[in-house]
Amino acid sequence: MKKPSSQTGVKEIARRGNVSIATVDRVIHNRPGVSAKTKAKIEAIIKELNYQPNVLASRLSSGKVFHFAVIIPKSSIHSDFWEAPLKGIAKAESEIRQYGVTVENYLFDLTNKNSFIQATEEIKDKNIDGVLMSPSFVKEADDFFQYCQANNIPVVCIDSNIESQGSLSYIGPPLLQSGYLGASLCKLGISENPKILIVNIAKQKKSFNLIQIEAGFKTFFTQPPNKANCINLNIQDIDQESVELNLHKAFIKNPDIEAIFVTNSRVFAVAEYLEKRELSNILLVGFDFLKENQKHLQKGTINFLICHKPEEQGYKGIMSLYHSLALNLPVEKVYYMPIDIVTKENQEFYR
């Protein structure tokens, strides 16, 4: 059957249903004001005609401008991870700007929760239609989430999620599985019952992300025949000197450590310590394809990097808001990023 044009199709549906074009338009765009009986009749005609509405043309004709706010950490001397999501966000904005979408970035300091609060307060004074957020500070993010819900502002979370709230979508890593994979990588090439150091280098106390990653890691060693003595080391002073001092104390207490698993992207700080101490026999696993991590991966100090395509997270986050709000299309509630394993041998080809 030849597909009808948008204009002809709507008119034909209205004629067959003996209703107005406005009524057909309400059904197509799922707007109120149509009885259940009439809606069912119109939907049956739409299916019979195999009619596909031109949502983009409808979007352009409406003339409405959508304003999206982005709340994510800014890059720092400690990590350039967030440069990648920003690239994805900029790419998405460049593609949909012509369709009446603006995107404004509110970047906060990952070591300062007050900067996150300040960003959320600024947004409250703006006419925002949707938010893309990394809920790095759980309590403060939860408070802002409640504000968004009360004002019918959809929120898409990237990199980490707020489990207690109903975001429009979560786009990011499967955390438990990522931790589990980290454990299986640590087990390669070491003894039957190794001593493994789990290192968390973060200014704030353990976030939901890190708790889930660590839980997945330890789950691996609860399943026979996998065994390990896992030791936790939480480092909240994230400067290099403090990191090395804490690691040195850990090695004095546990000189037989065979592997180290870093729960976030600051694995390069551990690699620098191992290189200075000439501890070349320690297997080291961490996260994210940062410039500093790549350098130590090439040297062989870092054995494995687990990566979750952060640029794609930023891109898909903005596009999910656009599809839902501007085009009235469904978006996936949870969209997990693939878990990539990058090594010295394949890093040259990883993008």
> What pLDDT was estimated at residue 54?
64
SS3 category, 335: strand
Q: Which of 82, 78, 79 is nearest to 70 (CA)?
A: 82
> What pLDDT was estimated at residue 51?
77
Which CATH number do you get for residue 40? 1.10.260.40
> What pLDDT was estimated at residue 243?
95
Direct distance between the N- and C-terminal alpha carbons of the chain, in angstroms, rounded to an integer? 43
What are the Cα distances from residue 49, in Å, to 2, 6, 13, 27, 37? Answer: 9, 12, 8, 15, 19
Dihedral of alpha carbons 101, 102, 106, 107, sign = positive
Q: Report how many domains make up the chain.
A: 3
> What pLDDT was estimated at residue 57?
57
Same domain, 85 and 47: no
Integer Cα distance of 351 and 289 in angstroms: 9
Give ∠ CA 212-214-216 in degrees, rounded to 5.
70
Q: Is the residue at 58 inside a domain? A: no
Same domain, 232 and 327: no
Same domain, 81 and 192: no
Residues of the domain holding 11: 6-53
**Phi and psi angles of residue 105, each rounded to the nearest 5 degrees, phi first:** -95, 135
Query: With 0-12 CB in 10 A as exposed, 13-18 as middle and 19+ as buried, what is 151?
Result: exposed
Residues in the chain: 351
Same domain, 117 and 35: no
**Single pTM value for the model:** 0.80
pLDDT by 10s per residue, the chain, length 351 = 444 444 457 888 888 999 988 888 788 777 788 999 999 998 888 888 877 666 555 555 556 789 999 999 998 776 788 999 999 999 999 999 988 899 999 999 988 889 999 999 999 988 999 999 999 888 899 999 999 999 999 999 999 887 666 789 999 999 999 999 999 999 987 888 899 999 999 877 667 788 899 999 999 999 888 899 999 999 988 899 999 999 999 999 999 999 999 999 999 999 999 999 999 999 999 999 999 999 999 999 999 999 999 999 999 999 999 999 988 888 999 999 999 999 999 999 987
Query: Cα 238 from chain centroid?
Result: 23
Which CATH number do you get for residue 284? 3.40.50.2300
